[in-house]
Every structure is written in C-alpha cells, then in structure tokens.
C-alpha cells in the first residue's frame, strides 16, 4: 500500500484479488481471462468519519493500454514495466500456464507493484488517465482512445531508421542503451542459473525423503533402535517437504529481478525516442542547408552541385529575372520557416535531454536500492535454508544418540 497524489488527493492502492472469467473478445469468440480487483481508499478524511473503499475490475490488457498511453505521453520517463504475461525462466516443476493459480497470484502482486511504481512517480502520479484507471470502471478505454495517443506513437520502422541513420548520437544515450542491453543479458543469465539451481535443489531435498522411508522401514525391525530411527525418519520427511515452500518464496525474488529485466526495455524506449528526435533535428538542418544553397545559387547564378533544375535549364534555357526572383522569395520564406522549426526542435531536444536525464538518475537510485535489497534478502533466505538443513541433521544426530 502506498500513497498516490492526484492534485491534492491522496489514496491508497492495492490489487487485492484475481478472478478467472469467461467472455467474448473483439472477434466475438469466447475466451477465458483473468480479471484483477483494484481497491482504492482515500487517506484524507475527517476524524470519526468512515473511510469508503472504491473498487473496480481490470483485465491485464487494460493495464497494457495504460502503460502504452504513458509511454507515448511521457517519452522522457522510464515507465515502470508490467509483470510478464506468460511465465519465463521457470524450473521444471513450475507451471508455465498463464492461468495457473500460483502464476496468477504472482502476476497480481506484479500488477499491484506496477500501480504503486506509477503512483510514487513524481510526474506520472498526477496523470488524469492514470487516476481514472483507478476510479472509473465504465468508458475508461474510450477516454484513453479519445486522447489520440495511438496516432502520436512512433512507428517501429521510423525508430529503426533513426537508429541507423542518425549522424551525431548523444554519447550518454548511446552508453545508456548499451548498459540496458548488458543489464538485460546479465539478469537473464542470473535467472537461468537460478532456475537450474532450483531444479537441482528440488531433487536433493526430495531425495532426502528416501532417508525418511528407509529409516521408517528399518525402525520396524529394531527394538532398542526403533524409536530413534522413526524420529530421524520423521525429520527427514519434514526436510524433504520443506522445499516446496522454499522455492515458492524464491519465485518472489525472481519476480523482483524480472522487473528490472523488463525495465531494460523501458530504458531503451527513452533512448530510441532521443534518437528519433536527433534524427528529425538533423533532417531539418540538412533540409535548411539545402534550401540556403539553392537560394544562393539562384542569387549568384552559379550551380555547385548536380541538380534536375540545372539540367532543365541547359535543355530549355534560362529563367526570366521575374521567375528567378519569385523562386528566391519562396525559398527565403521556406528558409525563415525552416530556421524557426530548427530552433524549436533544438529547444525541444534540450528539454527532452534535461527531463530524461533527471528521470534516469531517479531510476538509477531506485534500481540500486531495490536490487541491493533483493539480493540481500535472497542471501538471507539461502542462509536460513542452510540453517534449517543443519538443524534437521542436528535433530537426527540427537535421535541417533538416544538409541
């Protein structure tokens, strides 16, 4: 639970429940999906008054729509990622079915975390569409689509073109893009290693159940040693069954790592937007320089480079002075307009870099804190797990000593 600031309002947010439902999609075909209950409660109230809790249901696709809107309207912000739609980096005993109850529960926690991330962001928390997502169940999609954000979204082809054709990329954003790639690679490897370790650990723990079975069978043929063997076998059975809860807890730490695996793509989105803006700036500067050259050539009567106009002049004769003056006047107007556009793009670019870098620094601080806490907590859990193993064998030793 955390606080969300929209204007002067403060509300607590939670995704408290998940529910499996059946309905019809846009193609009028029946489908099964999961809906999530979002609860909000105002924390500003008069003493003695009851606090009302508002609630509404949202599908995962609606969370996606919200995030896509935020990406378009706040391109300079590292927008928090959504939890995975389908399970990745799972060990073999874990279901990859997106309708599996354990997976749905982890995704519920991830969706709540997404809302809390947005709510705690100093800029995103004040967005009206986000506030309506939390409080307005009916017609929310229509309200989002009316913003026209989809028309403002940059095409993938244009972004790819800018990536390869930009001539003067900002070194800081180039390095950030490289870092996001490396971060994604490192976390992916870490999650794969963790999945392999979980597989091995599960096997080791479950094999200890064989100790329990053997000790129990042995106790049946012994008189003096029977009680000790039976007790030791019980401890082994408890040890073998404990791995299920341990690995379930581990999944929550894995999900924390996955969040930053997906944050890497959010970082790249900011970098791609900067590349697009830089590419547009360079194209505007190139177009302005071309028009200035054309104007100079018309004014002086010299042609520095090959042009279709130069060829037509040779074929059909020179322009009249009046035609030349008219063309020069048009070019001068285009040059003035181009200079204003270039100035505007320069200002827009500088503002984007300033805002983007401020948010990137905020994100870095958040990332360092979160990953440090997650890794420490994971290490503490592993230490606790080892201590429990030692305790099991200590208990078994005492059982053997009493025989």
Is the whole-model pTM more than 0.75?
yes
Structure tokens of 41?
A: 């409660």
Burial class from Cβ neighbours inside 10 Å (0-12, 13-18, 19+) for residue 254 reads buried
Task: Look up residue 153 and give its DSSP letter.
Answer: S
Give the fold, CATH level 3, of 169-298+328-402. Substrate Binding Domain Of Dnak; Chain:A; Domain 2 (1.20.1270)
Cα–Cα distance measured from residue 85 to residue 98, given in angstroms and rounded to the nearest whole number: 7
Phi, psi of 224 (to 5 degrees): -70, -35
3-state secondary structure of 86: coil
Per-residue pLDDT of the chain (403 residues; tens, 9 = 90+): 344 444 446 788 999 999 988 877 767 778 888 999 999 988 765 555 555 678 999 999 999 999 999 999 999 999 999 998 877 767 666 666 677 888 889 899 999 999 999 999 999 999 999 999 998 888 899 999 998 888 887 766 666 666 668 788 889 999 999 999 999 999 999 999 998 998 899 999 999 889 999 999 999 998 889 899 999 999 999 999 998 888 888 888 889 999 999 999 999 999 999 988 888 888 888 999 988 888 888 877 765 555 555 555 554 456 677 788 888 888 888 889 989 999 999 999 999 999 999 999 999 999 999 999 999 999 999 999 999 999 999 999 999 998 8
| Ranges of each domain in the chain | 169-298+328-402
Region label for 175, one of left (φ > 0), alpha (ψ between -120 and 50) or beta (otherwise):
alpha
Structure tokens of 275?
A: 């590349």
- Go through 379-399 and write b for each residue having 16 or more CB atoms within 10 A of its CB, e for each that does not: eeeeeebeeeeeebeebbeeb
**Distance between the two ends of the chain, CA-based, in angstroms?**
53
Nearest residue to 271 via CA among 147, 357, 338, 188: 357
């Amino acid at each position: 639970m955390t606080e969300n600031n929209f204007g002067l309002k403060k509300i607590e947010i939670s995704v408290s429940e998940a529910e499996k439902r059946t309905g019809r999609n846009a193609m009028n075909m029946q489908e099964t999906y999961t809906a999530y209950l979002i609860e909000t409660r105002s924390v500003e109230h008069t003493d003695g008054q009851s606090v009302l809790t508002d609630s509404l249901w949202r599908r995962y696709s609606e969370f996606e729509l919200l995030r896509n809107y935020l990406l378009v309207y706040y391109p300079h912000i590292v927008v928090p990622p959504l939890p995975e739609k389908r399970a990745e980096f799972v060990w073999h005993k874990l279901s990859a079915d997106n309708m599996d109850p354990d997976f749905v529960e982890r995704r519920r926690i991830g969706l709540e975390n997404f809302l809390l991330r947005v709510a705690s962001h100093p800029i995103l928390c004040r967005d009206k569409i986000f506030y309506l997502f939390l409080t307005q169940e009916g017609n929310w999609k229509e309200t989002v689509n009316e913003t026209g954000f989809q028309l403002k979204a940059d095409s993938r082809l244009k972004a790819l073109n800018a990536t390869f054709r930009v001539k003067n990329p900002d070194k800081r954003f180039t390095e950030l893009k490289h870092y996001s790639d490396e971060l994604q690679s490192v976390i992916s490897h870490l999650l794969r290693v963790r999945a392999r370790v979980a597989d091995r650990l599960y096997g080791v723990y479950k094999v200890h159940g064989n100790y329990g079975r053997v000790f129990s069978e042995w106790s049946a043929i012994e008189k003096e040693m029977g009680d000790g063997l039976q007790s030791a076998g019980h401890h082994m059975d408890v040890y073998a069954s404990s791995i299920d809860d341990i690995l379930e807890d581990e999944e929550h730490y894995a999900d924390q790592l996955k969040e930053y695996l997906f944050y890497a793509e959010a970082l790249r989105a900011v970098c791609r937007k900067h590349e697009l803006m830089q590419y547009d700036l360079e194209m505007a500067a190139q177009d302005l320089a071309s028009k200035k050259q054309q104007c100079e050539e018309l004014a002086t009567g010299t042609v520095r480079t090959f042009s279709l106009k130069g060829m037509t002049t040779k074929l059909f004769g020179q322009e009249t002075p009046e035609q030349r003056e008219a063309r020069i006047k048009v070019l001068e107007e285009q040059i003035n307009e181009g200079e204003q556009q270039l100035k505007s793009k320069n200002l827009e670019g500088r503002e984007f870099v300033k805002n983007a870098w401020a948010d990137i620094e905020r994100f870095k601080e958040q990332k360092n804190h979160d990953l440090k806490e997650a890794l420490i907590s994971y290490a503490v859990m592993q230490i606790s797990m080892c201590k429990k193993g030692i305790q099991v064998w200590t208990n078994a030793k005492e059982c053997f000593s009493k025989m």
